[in-house]
């Protein structure tokens, strides 16, 4: 039976919410950082396996970590040269990834305690709404912004992540969910043998510091073309600095399938669907073995991979070339991303 339950953890700033869906999937969500601490997914035999990296103790998320399972923003990704230019006015941001601004800056939404509210649904699926406020000048951003993220676990084993932003002035917002996925299980080591599909025809170019250059080119014939599926280890090895790429999906009012991930050993498969205009793939290169996960295993490079659905980080200049992440007063900005889990016997890689 579907259920939702809060647990108060002594010594932890936030609370832990457990969302159990009717299809067997379970997600644990922290009010601290909006973090998804666990996603337990059933295999073909019904056995649950945790498929996201993270820590067993909720309080460990209050220490340093690479955004495990967190909500990031105001702008997810890298803002080139750590500067906004809105209607001809400059807003310098903290260059916390010099010379760029990364994931909203320091002490951003991944470090906040969000307010929690259970959302009743007609289908009975457990749904939790987290909300917070970002003041004018927060990390250099203009405007007062009210933010909400709603997590829902459905009976067909989907984790649905919906965002909403409302502002009192014209200002950019682009939130994303930042889980690191390993479909063999979070303690199983490298994802090199996973299969990946990214249904995009174009990706953005980056410079030596991973800042976006503003240029977007076709993936046809390039190492970052994963439309027909690739082995993860081979795919990541061919990417710029073996890091990852930001892919252009185009603007859409509808949620559509944009990526797939499969573990051949178990057949466990995840589809990513979103109405966002971009998806950032990250291969987990920055994991270096210093952080020990829930299963007691150090997380080395490639232990988990990210599919960050978001807007184009520099889409605040009004040009509209790659959409817009500007929130207008009185008009809420909304996004929806779904992580859909299943078991599949056939390979994702097409000859």
DSSP 175: -
Contact criterion met (CB below 8 Å) for 153 and 128: no
Instruction: Given the residues 186, 308, 310, 338, select the one marked as catalytic.
Output: 308
The question of whether 178 is a catalytic residue gets the answer yes
Q: How many Å separate Cα 197 from the centre of its chain?
A: 17
d(CA 112, CA 114) in angstroms, rounded, equals 6
- Give the DSSP H or E segment for 101: strand 101-102
Query: How many other C-beta atoms lie within 10 A of the C-beta of residue 170?
Result: 15
Instruction: Given the residues 178, 194, 195, 310, select the one marked as catalytic.
Output: 178
Contact criterion met (CB below 8 Å) for 200 and 219: yes
- Give the DSSP H or E segment for 339: strand 333-343
The question of whether 308 is a catalytic residue gets the answer yes
φ/ψ of 237, rounded to 5, equals -60, -25
Query: How many other C-beta atoms lie within 10 A of the C-beta of residue 129?
Result: 17
CA dihedral 201, 206, 211, 216 (to 10 degrees): -40
CB neighbours of 262 closer than 8 A, spacing ≥ 6? 183, 194, 195, 268, 269, 270, 344, 347, 348
DSSP helix/strand/coil, 62? helix
15-20 sheet: strands from edge to edge: 3-8, 15-20, 26-30, 36-42, 48-50
Residues annotated as part of the active site: 178, 308
């Amino acid at each position: 039976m579907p259920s939702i339950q809060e647990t108060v953890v002594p010594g932890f700033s936030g609370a832990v919410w457990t969302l159990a869906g009717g299809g067997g999937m379970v997600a644990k969500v922290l009010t601290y950082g909006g973090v998804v601490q666990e996603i337990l997914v059933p295999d073909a035999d019904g056995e649950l396996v945790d498929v996201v990296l993270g820590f067993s103790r909720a309080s460990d998320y209050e220490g340093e970590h690479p955004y495990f399972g967190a909500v990031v923003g105001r702008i997810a990704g890298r803002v080139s040269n750590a500067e906004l230019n809105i209607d001809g006015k400059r807003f310098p941001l903290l260059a916390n990834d010099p010379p760029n601004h990364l994931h909203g800056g320091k002490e951003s939404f991944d470090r906040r305690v969000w307010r929690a509210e259970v959302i009743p649904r007609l289908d009975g699926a457990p749904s939790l709404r987290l909300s917070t406020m970002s003041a004018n000048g927060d990390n250099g951003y203009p405007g007062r912004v009210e933010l909400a993220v709603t997590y829902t676990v459905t009976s067909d084993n989907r984790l649905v992540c919906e965002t909403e932003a409302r502002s009192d002035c014209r200002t950019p917002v682009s939130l994303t969910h930042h889980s690191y996925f390993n479909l063999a299980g979070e303690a199983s080591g490298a994802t090199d043998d996973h299969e990946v599909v990214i249904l995009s025809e174009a990706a953005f170019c980056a410079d030596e510091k991973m800042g976006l250059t503003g240029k977007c080119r076709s993936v046809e014939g390039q190492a970052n073309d994963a439309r027909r599926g690739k082995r993860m280890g081979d795919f990541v090895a061919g990417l710029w600095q073996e890091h990852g790429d930001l892919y252009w999906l185009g603007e859409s009012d509808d949620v559509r399938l944009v990526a797939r991930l499969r573990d051949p050993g178990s057949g466990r498969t995840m589809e990513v669907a979103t109405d966002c205009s971009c998806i950032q793939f990250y291969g987990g290169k920055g994991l270096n073995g210093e952080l020990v996960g829930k299963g007691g295993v150090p997380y080395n490079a490639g232990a988990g991979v990210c599919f960050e659905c978001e807007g184009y980080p520099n889409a605040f200049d009004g040009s509209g070339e790659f959409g817009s992440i500007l929130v207008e007063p009185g008009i809420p900005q909304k996004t929806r991303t779904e992580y859909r889990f299943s078991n599949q016997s056939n390979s994702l890689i097409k000859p």
